[in-house]
Amino acid sequence: MRVEVLSLLLVILCAPVLASRAGQVQESPPWWQDAWSMYCPAAQTGAGSALMKFWGPSLPEAIGDFRELPKLLADARRLGSNIVYLVDYWEGGYERKSTYIPRADLGGPDAFREGVRAVHEAGGRVIVYVEGFIISRKTPLAERVALGWAMMDERGELYDYPHTRDRFYCMYPGPGSGWAEFLAEVCAALVRNYDVDGVHLDSLGYQTGWRDYNPRHRGAEDPAMFDRHSVMMVKNIRRAMRAARADTIVMLEGDEFPKLLDACDGAQDESLAIIKIKPWAAGYKYKVFTSEFSLGQMDAILDLGYPVSLAPWWFCDAPSEKTLTKLEEARIDLAHDHSDAHKRMRDLWRVYNYVYANGGPVAGPHTIEQLGREIMPWTIDKLSWSDEKRQAVWDDVVGRVLARYRSLDLEAAVTPAEHLRRRLEGLESARAR
């Protein structure tokens, strides 16, 4: 009797979480529901907000041919992930967002197909980047469709994507434009032709409330029209991909619009701090990946039940004595040389991550996370310290971190990559049980 009562109580307590997840996660394939991470091996600066703060190689610098994709899966598994997320794989690269034909210098379509097959044979998964909102102006596609598919302002001029000037057109997902149908076919073709496991629709999850004055898009001046048709577009992309193969997924960059999240399988957001302020965050309703420079914050993401986005950042060698000296001598002058301050902050995170992996956080009045937000602020953050305080906190944190680091036996030390692998494999094992 007591066991039955306890079981009933557990069901009642868990019901809100289960109900909150049911609307979205129940339709996702099991391999995706069980995933705690994905690994982006190259071109992080265009990969989506959770990874754009990292620097990494281009894809041709990471592999010489698409047939070498299993090497990237091996790297992913060194971090505890089974999913490779590819950016920079299409002909022309980032400045040619258009049709997403696999690039010729890595072997073209045939090599890409063989590489994905080899990853599958090794038990891995492949997700690919597709832009969900913009196309590059200097492409044959843009020349053919811009006036009919792209959005216009009140003056009848085609919108620029914010902060990119004249590089891209912003596409309308509703009637009168062929964008939604085109994008669904692009994504379905990536499944049919290359057997990819999913797509990451960049930009789209941050876009809401656009007013479009293109005369071919009737009623699009109402911002609700953009939102409504974005949701329909994602549903249709998902449907088209699953007609080609039933266990594929669609994820977004950004998570600003819950109805859009309800239509897909997950998203990426910029940081843990931003996820925490979402009204749905405490209910764990959506599978939102994010990433941080700090190994402690990566643990915090996982502790809260969210998955992580991984990059080659975590394959860092033990910092040299020269690097440590630079940290001790650094002057954090954001007004005149913020790039040097950013470099030093990255170096400090690398040292700290070794320390954290071999003993946990460094105690003190200020954390490295607070310091990082004051030197490399995220969207949610505003600089609040004076230059003098920032330098004083820098000197304090550096002193405490380096003291711990110099006490490590580096030959026996756990690397940050190994820490992540153990943590993620532990989560996978717990879920399997």
What would the pLDDT profile of 259-315 be if each residue is shown by its tens digit?
999 999 999 999 999 999 999 988 888 999 999 999 999 999 999 999 999 999 999
Q: Is 106 exposed, middle or buried (0-12, 13-18, 19+ CB in 10 A)?
A: buried
> The tokens of 165 are what?
């000037």
Q: Does position 22 have pLDDT exceeding 90, yes or no?
A: no
How far apart CA 138 and CA 173 sit, in angstroms, is: 21
Q: Does position 11 have pLDDT exceeding 70, yes or no?
A: no
pLDDT band at 433 (very low <50, low <70, confident <90, very high): low
Q: Does position 21 have pLDDT exceeding 70, yes or no?
A: no
Task: Evaluate the CA torsion angle 184, 185, 191, 196 in order and state its sign.
Answer: negative
In sequence order, what E strands does 132-197 have? 134-136, 168-170
Amino acid (one-letter) located at 305: G
Q: Does position 54 have pLDDT exceeding 50, yes or no?
A: yes
What is the pLDDT at residue 381? 81
How far apart CA 65 and CA 344 sit, in angstroms, is: 34
> The tokens of 103 are what?
């690039």
How far apart CA 245 and CA 24 sit, in angstroms, is: 19
How far apart CA 81 and CA 72 sit, in angstroms, is: 11
Among 215-224, 318-327, 342-351, 376-385, the range scoring the smallest mean pLDDT is: 376-385
What is the pLDDT at residue 48? 93
How far apart CA 157 and CA 200 sit, in angstroms, is: 29
Q: Does position 215 have pLDDT exceeding 80, yes or no?
A: yes
Could you give the percent of the chain with pLDDT greater than 90?
A: 83
Q: DSSP assignment, residue 102?
A: B
What is the pLDDT at residue 330? 96
Q: Does position 341 have pLDDT exceeding 80, yes or no?
A: yes
Task: Evaluate the CA torsion angle 14, 304, 46, 153 in order and state its sign.
Answer: positive
Q: DSSP assignment, residue 211?
A: -
Please give the angle made by the CA atoms of 11, 263 and 174, to the nearest 5 degrees: 160
Amino acid (one-letter) located at 323: T
Q: Does position 405 have pLDDT exceeding 80, yes or no?
A: yes
Catalogue all structural domains in the chain, each as residue range(s) with its CATH number. 35-314 (3.20.20.80), 321-414 (no CATH)
Q: Does position 223 have pLDDT exceeding 90, yes or no?
A: yes
What is the pLDDT at residue 337? 80
The SS3 assignment for 168 reads: strand
pLDDT band at 152 (very low <50, low <70, confident <90, very high): very high
180-186: long-range pairs with CB below 8 Å, 24+: 180/229, 180/232, 180/233, 180/236, 181/236, 182/145, 182/149, 183/130, 183/132, 183/233, 183/237, 184/233, 184/236, 184/237, 184/239, 184/240, 185/240, 186/99, 186/100, 186/130
- The pLDDT of 246-261, averaged and rounded, is 96
Residue 269 · residue 309 · CB < 8 Å: no
What is the pLDDT at residue 3? 32
How far apart CA 182 and CA 250 sit, in angstroms, is: 16
pLDDT band at 93 (very low <50, low <70, confident <90, very high): confident
Contacts (Cβ under 8 Å, ≥6 apart) of 118: 67, 69, 70
Please give the angle made by the CA atoms of 274, 277 and 282, to the nearest 5 degrees: 115
The SS3 assignment for 50 reads: coil
Q: In the beta sheet, which residues pair with residue 126?
A: 84
What is the pLDDT at residue 118? 98
Q: In the beta sheet, which residues pair with residue 131?
A: 202
Residue 196 · residue 126 · CB < 8 Å: yes
Mean pLDDT score of the chain: 91
How far apart CA 262 and CA 231 sit, in angstroms, is: 9
What is the pLDDT at residue 56? 86
How far apart CA 300 and CA 304 sit, in angstroms, is: 6
Q: In the beta sheet, which residues pair with residue 102?
A: 90
Q: Is 312 exposed, middle or buried (0-12, 13-18, 19+ CB in 10 A)?
A: buried
What is the pLDDT at residue 32? 97
The SS3 assignment for 351 reads: helix
Among 6-15, 174-183, 212-221, 356-365, the range scoring the smallest mean pLDDT is: 6-15
